[in-house]
């Protein structure tokens, strides 16, 4: 049985809103509002949901780039939220974040080789000669020729730049890499190359991934398990195969029904959700999805559903999942 590398317990990330005239807190944007999940060593957990549901905020909260309001983030047995600055620096070495836009992630004025060496320098790894060697090794590991390390980011294509971002992320020998929409800004043909690179690095270095994306076909391809988020909450989580074969939450069903299907024999009836996601500043009472749910009943407006365990790690938050 593999060990949990990361455990998130009742994590809340709120952003206070101050009044225009009197500078006091008049409300909170509840971007992430009490989520719990765990990830095993070597696993890839997909995190999906509409824009604004709290996926990216969750990733930043895990690394404490945003200070959570409450909850626990246990990484390798240590609570990240309670860690000192010094401990946090060590933890961040083992947890890396890859962003969507590789161009924005790289310093346009620095040569890419210097960027890789800088990361090692900041974490006091090796002497200049050793750092150069390590940087070359990781540059080649992501499929780039080390003779291009003296180039600037703009001299590379989008896919090559994302490879460089991955080289920088793995240069510190991390255990967990959080990938926030790592292929969304790339052409489809390049997306496949980066996904293959991620799989290669996972197998070679024993990495664990949190994979955030809105393209469900890509998430299905890379993830062992998937968590579905809606308005700051996880509404369903299960093994990828189980979730795609047997989605139980009305929101998950609606998301999956929007995936294009090539086979006319296997067409799924499209479920169109009415309206937009409500504001996390003032989330609806009861079940947060009730304003758009096609199965909502009166109780949904009053009472928030409990998480129901369907067995085999399949958890769903809906009042009516058992009658479904």
Residue among 287 and 315 whose Cβ is closer to ligand SF4: 287
Compare residues 122 and 299 and give the one whose CB is closer to ligand SF4.
Answer: 299
| Both structure tokens of 275 | 């309206």
Q: Which is nearer to ligand SF4, 103 or 320 (CB)?
A: 320
Select 15 or 320, whichever has its Cβ closest to ligand SF4. 320
Beta bridge partners of 307: 317
Size of interface with ligand SF4, in residues (CB under 6 A):
13
Judged by CB under 6 A, does residue 287 bind ligand SF4? yes
Give 67 or 274: the residue with its C-beta nearer to ligand SF4: 274
Q: How far apart are CA 271 and CA 253, in angstroms?
A: 8
Cα separation of 200 and 192, whole Å? 12
Shortest distance (Å) from residue 285 CB to ligand SF4: 11
| End-to-end CA, the chain | 32
CB of 226 to ligand SF4, least distance (A): 17
Q: How far apart are CA 106 and CA 131, in angstroms?
A: 19
Candidates 75, 99, 138, 289; binder of ligand SF4 (CB under 6 A) is: 289
Single residue of 141, 300, 314, 315 touching ligand SF4 by CB under 6 A? 300
Q: Sign of dihedral through CA atoms 285, 290, 295, 296?
A: positive
In this chain, which stretch among 8-16, 74-82, 217-225, 315-323 interacts with ligand SF4, using CB under 6 A?
Answer: 315-323
Q: Which of 106, 176, 243, 293 binds ligand SF4 (CB under 6 A)?
A: 293
Residue in the structure block whose two tokens are 């793995």 = 170
Among 167, 172, 305, 315, binds ligand SF4 (CB under 6 A): 305
* List 30, 69, 290, 314, residue binding ligand SF4 (CB under 6 A): 290
Q: Which residues contact 244 (CB under 8 A, 6 or more apart)?
A: 220, 256
Say if CB 275 and CB 50 are below 8 A apart. Answer: no
Site for ligand SF4 in 229-268 (CB under 6 A): 249-250
Contact 48, 255 (CB under 8 A): yes
Cα–Cα distance measured from residue 77 to residue 89, given in angstroms and rounded to the nearest whole number: 16
Neighbour count for residue 104 (Cβ, 10 Å): 12
Q: What is the dihedral of CA 68, 42, 196, 183, to 10 degrees?
A: -10
Report the residue number, 67 or 298, with the smaller CB distance to ligand SF4: 298
> Can residue 92 be called a binding residue for ligand SF4 (CB under 6 A)?
no
| Residue ranges in contact with ligand SF4 by CB under 6 A | 249-250, 287, 289-290, 293, 295-296, 300, 305, 318-320
């Amino acid at each position: 049985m593999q060990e949990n590398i990361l455990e998130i317990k009742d994590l809340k990330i709120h952003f206070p809103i101050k009044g225009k005239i009197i500078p006091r807190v008049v409300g909170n944007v509840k971007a992430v509002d009490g989520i719990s999940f765990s990830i095993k060593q070597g696993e890839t957990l997909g995190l999906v949901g509409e824009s604004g549901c709290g996926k990216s905020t969750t990733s930043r909260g895990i690394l404490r780039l945003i200070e959570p309001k409450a909850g626990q983030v246990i990484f390798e047995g240590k609570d990240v939220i309670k860690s000192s600055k010094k401990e946090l620096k060590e933890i961040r070495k083992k947890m890396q974040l890859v962003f969507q836009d590789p161009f924005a992630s790289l310093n346009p004025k620095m040569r890419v080789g210097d960027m890789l060496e800088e990361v090692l320098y900041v974490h006091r790894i090796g002497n200049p000669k050793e750092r150069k060697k390590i940087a070359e090794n990781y540059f080649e590991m992501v499929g780039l020729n080390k003779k291009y390390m003296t180039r600037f980011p703009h001299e590379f294509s989008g896919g090559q730049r994302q490879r460089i971002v991955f080289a920088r992320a793995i240069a510190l020998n991390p255990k967990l890499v959080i990938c926030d929409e790592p292929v969304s800004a790339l052409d489809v043909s390049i997306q496949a190359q980066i996904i293959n690179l991620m799989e290669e690095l996972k197998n070679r270095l024993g990495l664990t991934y949190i994979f955030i994306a809105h393209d469900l076909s890509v998430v299905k391809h890379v993830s062992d398990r998937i968590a579905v988020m809606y308005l700051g909450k996880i509404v369903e989580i299960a093994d990828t195969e189980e979730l795609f074969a047997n989605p139980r939450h009305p929101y998950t069903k609606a998301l999956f029904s929007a995936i294009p299907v090539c086979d006319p024999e296997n067409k799924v009836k499209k479920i169109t959700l009415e309206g937009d996601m409500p504001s996390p500043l003032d989330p609806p009472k009861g079940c947060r999805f009730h304003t758009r749910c096609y199965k909502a009943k009166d109780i949904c407006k009053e009472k928030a559903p409990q998480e129901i365990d369907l067995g085999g790690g399949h958890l769903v938050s809906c009042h009516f999942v058992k009658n479904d």
